[in-house]
Structure 1
Amino acid sequence: KDGFLHYLDLGPQFKSFKKFTRRAVDKKLNTASLKNFKKEVNLEKDGKINDALKGGDLVLAQISKEPISTKGPRLSTEISLAGRYMVLMPFSDRVSISQKIDSAEEKSRLKKLIRSIKPHGFGVIVRTVAQGKKVAELDKDLKNLYKKWQGISKKLKDAQPNTRIHGELNKSSVILRDLLSAKFNSLHVNNSELQNELKEYLSIIAPDQEKIVKLHKKETPIFQEFNVTKQIKGAFGKNVTMKKGVYLVIEHTEALHVIDVNSGKKVDSKKNQEDNALSVNLEAAEEVARQLRLRDMGGIIVVDFIDMKQEKNRKLLTDKMKEFMSTDKAKHHVLPPTKFGLIQITRQRVKPEMNIDTQESCPMCSGKGKIDSSLLLVDQIETKLHNLSETTKGNIHISTHPFVASYINKKEGWFSSSISKEWSNKFDRRITISADERLHLLQYTVVK
């Protein structure tokens, strides 16, 4: 798809970038340094792109937003190189500090430090993770970014139109760069090449954590070993179940994303309807914030919470929603609920949302239809048992498909207990599971 370059994405230093690119391609530059490079005047904010660009012009562009649906990638000629602690901006002398760093003293320290070590003609945006870091760590990151700029300048000399000059790190390294913290104690991979790549990258950005990368050698698939498959199917399905029966229904459309909050059977008889609604909404708000980050949903998100009449409860919900969203690194804005209980959220979208098909081919129709993931059936039965335990007394008997009954009654080892036994202990009553061949794979009946 063709890329889209808006006038505002040219950047104020576009004329200098254009001059540098032209001279580099013509092999009239011998250095990547900007110390003696004569800058051009900044681009006017209210100009027209026809005044800045003409057909046949060579420009160095960077993809700032991935293709989404029918839209091609969005481009920018305001080049930026992201590192662990900072972002390097050629042709800009400005030093900016992350707004998430609250301490004025720390902001001042970082600004003075970066100004003293940054190369002439480059701007720097200091990231939140730079807080409290020593000059040696910051200087090392800055030098790595400058080496990337040198590589870009060198490749420009032999570059042809439509050529990729520089590529971002692979996805695994980008995740480490953006999320790595001292809390990480192990990182498991099932590929020796990836293990070596990550170790090499960690030796650069965090040498003391290089040993946390471990190669998974067991015959059991890595996702199965760490219960990832079940988590993916539970987290990315259309329905997201929470504790005590509360669940979300998530729908994606071309224009926006819609999330519906449902209380299920979570009703506390000791509370009135308003308090029950508030309790469910607060629980759902935390999961909504998590789902937005997990699926990387961007654009307009509309959340249909359960209606509440009291204004103080509406305000509390909005404040909590903002609090749960505060750890989200993507730019976002949370609007107060409407009179219908709808909360609108805008979230920065730079790539399509993560959408994983969590359905399996139905064994009852030879794969012609779809059913919910069988991995979630046990969780659904447990939720049903939880609801029954709060409203009824006595033993509970459940009939399921033979495959499911065998799984629930199976013991993993001599000293382990079956799922049905664990349920009996958890809900303090006898719970029995029997097989019924008349039931479909995901059907079950409950006898109280």
Structure 2
Amino acid sequence: MSNELVIDVTPNEIVIALLSNKQLIELSREKNNLQFAVGDIYLGKVKKIMPGLNAAFIDVGYEKDAFLHYLDLGHQFRSLSKFLQQALAKNGRNLSISKMKLEPDIDKNGKMSETLKSGQHILVQVAKEPISTKGPRLCSEISIAGRNLVLMPFSDKVSISQKISSTEEKLRLKQLLQSIKPKNYGVIVRTVAEGKRVAELDKELRSLVEKWEESFEHIRDLNPPKLVLGEMDRTSAILRDILNSSFENIYINDANAAKDITNYITSIAPEKSKIVKYITGDVPIFDQLGIDKQIKSSFGKTVSFKNGAYLIIEHTEAFHVVDVNSGNRSKAGNDQESSALEVNLAAAGEIARQLRLRDMGGIIVVDFIDMHSAENRQKVFDKMKEVMGLDRTKHNILPLSKFGLMQITRQRVRPEMNVEIQETCPTCLGSGKITPSVLLTDQIEQNLKRVVAQQSDRKLTLKAHPFVAAYINKGIWKTLRREWQSELGIKLSVREIPSYDMLEYKFFDKNNQEIELI
């Protein structure tokens, strides 16, 4: 299995596509001014206690107050609260958790009204990003993630990833971390730490502790609500979590970002530093590498996956529904049961991909094609568990019912990825009325003259849908492009952009900056 990452950097956002064996399996968009991301640590203020919910609403600066349940306070909330008060009093100088005497754990059956009070300052971490009309979901059991380790302040426990199968390796890592970790810090050892040497783990552990302690140095100057410690950007977080030997290429269209990512990879995996490829050109990077076509074929209500079979994906307020259909496929010699099994097994792989790609969370109900054999239903269940094993998001899968229904729960921490694949009508532009299409080239020519009049630059580029671009370039000597060049005294390039609507076109200068028509 080979993995590739394609990163499209635009002025407003960064779009990240993860490919496995050239197939798109994850897509995420990160606004350049993204706030309240999972992992961000805030100094907040308690706004309201809700005894009936045993919870509180916390002001962290979002337009809606964030939600904090009593069970998400964490066992060592008293110690965290004590440390925060000391940091606010001393401005974080010379404060160390290792020198503290930890407070007793809070009562797991306690009440929020007895633990917090309105107006109190509190340290919280975003556990779930704002979704729809809801504000962020918070917790006060702070964790700081690194590549190999996750640091847990106010704990002494060392936990090892269950995905490390070797008992000897688990024991080695546990003994190693117990010998090097500072007092009053807990550690979760991640899967990628398997086989790592003590020097590398010790260096990362010290870095995480330093990162935590430095965030409190000037905390007294912060007026809540305020960000105390931000999670790294989504691109670096993805690299931190999934970068391994299977990664072959990382393509990116921004020189500065390419340099930053190269430096980051060099720090965590020096042997992989040469996989970053800076992509240039007038054509968008997603069009160059065929990502845009995969996006448009993978999103939407109907998704085809094998030999005419397809999925129908619907969304309701309560859950998501996936219906598996065999389409018009048929194979001579195959009975209905074996054919249904074949389609269902193929559907399992596509469903797992769709859940990751769209980042669907909550309850998902899958209606597989009916199978009478309990053995075949078990095969589909086993296949689904296998393909979902690659999903980093927490999930739970129940066996198929006798009606062919499977229930899946998948943790939802971010808004679902939704890509609108339906395009505006290329002839009426959504108005329901059209102008004669034969006038399109006249319209382009008129706007080109306006661009020439307002620009001193004589080297221009016209980007249009491939059909329109082909018409403008049609011919050998007598083409519309050459006529316009000769008449206006300019050098004009015409570029095909497959992701444009049929009649969409834009003008660009020699620096590839779009020219707005005045």
Is 2:383 the counterpart of 1:320? yes
Give the AA of the match of 1:75.
Answer: L
Partner of 1:252: 315
Report the 3-state secondary structure (helix = DSSP H, G, I; strand = E; otherwise coil) of the residue aligned with 1:339.
coil
SS in 2 for 1:204: helix
Alignment correspondent of 1:194: 257
Other-structure match for 1:367? 430
In 2: Cα distance, 1:51 partner to 1:204 partner = 46
- For residues 164 and 151 of structure 1, the distance between their equivalents in structure 2, rounded to whole angstroms, comes to 13
Query: What's the counterpart of residue 122 of structure 2?
Result: 59
Residue 193 of structure 2 corresponds to residue 133 of structure 1: no
- From 170, 179, 182, give the equivalent of 2:242: 179
Does the C-alpha gap of structure 1 residues 178 and 368 become closer, same or farther in structure 2, counting only changes over 3 Å?
farther
- The offset of 1:403, in angstroms, is 5.6
* Conserved? CA contact 1:361–1:368, under 8 Å: no
- The letter of the residue matching 2:172 is R
Q: Which amino acid aligns with 1:360?
A: E
Deviations 1:213-232 (A, max 9, x none): 22112232211111010011
Q: Are the aligned partners of 2:126 and 2:137 in contact in 1 as well (CA < 8 Å)? A: yes
Q: Which SS does the other structure have where 1:5 is aligned?
A: strand
Shift of 1:269: 2.1
Stretches of structure 1 that go unaligned for 5 or more consecutive residues are 370-401, 411-440, 442-448
Instruction: Return the letter of the residue paired with 1:362.
Output: C
- 1:119 corresponds in structure 2 to 182
**Aligned partner (choices 349, 362, 385) of residue 299 of structure 1:** 362
Structure 1 Cα separation of the partners of residues 223 and 83 of structure 2: 15
Residue of structure 1 aligned with 2:340, choices 274, 277, 280: 277
Match of 2:71 in 1: 8
Distance 2:281 2:328 in 1: 41
Q: Which amino acid aligns with 1:37?
A: M
Superposed, which structure 2 residues align to 1:307-386 within 5 Å? Answer: 307-368=370-431
* 1:105 Cα deviation from its structure 2 partner: 0.8
Counterpart-to-counterpart distance in 1, 2:307 and 2:218: 59
CA deviation profile, 1:285-341 (whole Å, cap 9, x unmatched)? 111111111211111001111111111111111111111111211111111112221
* Alignment partners' CA distance in 2, 1:266 and 1:31: 71
Conserved 8 A contact 1:274-1:309: yes
In structure 2, distance between residues paired with 1:28 and 1:225: 52
2:122 is aligned with 1:69: no
Change (3 A) 1:29 1:224: closer
Aligned length: 376
- Given that residues 76 and 106 in structure 2 are in contact (C-alpha distance below 8 angstroms), is that contact kept between their aligned partners in structure 1? yes
Q: Aligned pair in 2 of structure 1 residues 32, 149: CA closer, same or farther (>3 Å)? A: farther
State whether residues 241 and 247 of structure 1, in contact with CA within 8 Å, keep that contact through their aligned partners in structure 2: yes
| 1:289 matched to 2:379 | no
User: Contact 1:25–1:159 at 8 Å: present in 2 too?
Assistant: no
Structure 1 segment 41-52 matched on structure 2, within 5 A: 41-52=104-115
CA distance 1:5–1:145, change in 2 (3 Å): same
CA deviations 1:343-371 (Å, max 9, x no partner) are 110111111111111111122543358xx
**Residues 322 and 364 of structure 2 are in contact (CA less than 8 Å); yes or no, is this contact kept in structure 1?**
yes
Matched, 1:31 2:84: no
Structure whose residues are more often helix by fraction:
1
Q: How does 1:232-243 map to 2 (within 5 A)?
A: 232-243=295-306
Pick from 281, 284, 289 the counterpart of residue 218 of structure 1.
Answer: 281
Is the alpha carbon distance of 1:61 and 1:139 closer, same or farther for their aligned partners in structure 2, counting shifts above 3 Å?
Answer: same
- Structure 1 Cα separation of the partners of residues 338 and 120 of structure 2: 64
Cα distance in 1 for partners of 2:390, 2:234 equals 21
TM-score, length of structure 1 as denominator length? 0.80
Q: Match for residue 15 of structure 2?
A: none
Cα deviation for residue 140 of structure 1 reads 2.2
CA distance in 2, matches of 1:159, 1:272: 70
SS of the residue corresponding to residue 72 of structure 1 reads: coil
Matched, 1:148 2:211: yes
Q: For 1:89 and 1:121, how far apart are their aligned partners in 2?
A: 9
What is the aligned counterpart of 1:105 among 140, 157, 168? 168
- Cα deviations across residues 73-107 of structure 1 (Å, max 9, x unaligned)? 11111111011011100000000011111111111
8 Å CA contact 1:13–1:92 kept in 2: the answer is yes
| Partner Cα distance (1:31, 1:353) in 2 | 43
* Displacement of 1:29: 4.8
Higher relative contact order (CA 8 A, sep 6+): 2
- Alignment partner of 1:93 is 2:163: no
Provide, for residues 104-141 of structure 1, a one-character-per-residue CA deviation record: whole Å limited to 9, x for no partner.
Answer: 11110111111111111100011111111122221222
Deviations 1:187-210 (A, max 9, x none): 111112211221222232222222
Question: Whole-Å Cα distance in 2 between the matches of residues 335 and 183 of structure 1?
Answer: 31
Q: Deviations over 1:18-51 (max 9, x none)?
A: 0100110111653242221121111110000111
CA deviation after TM superposition for structure 1 residue 237, in Å: 2.3
Verify the 8 A CA contact 1:91 1:123 in the aligned structure 2. Answer: yes
Which residue of the partner structure matches residue 399 of structure 1?
Answer: none
TM-score, scaled to structure 2? 0.70
Contact 1:141 1:205 (8 Å CA) reproduced: no
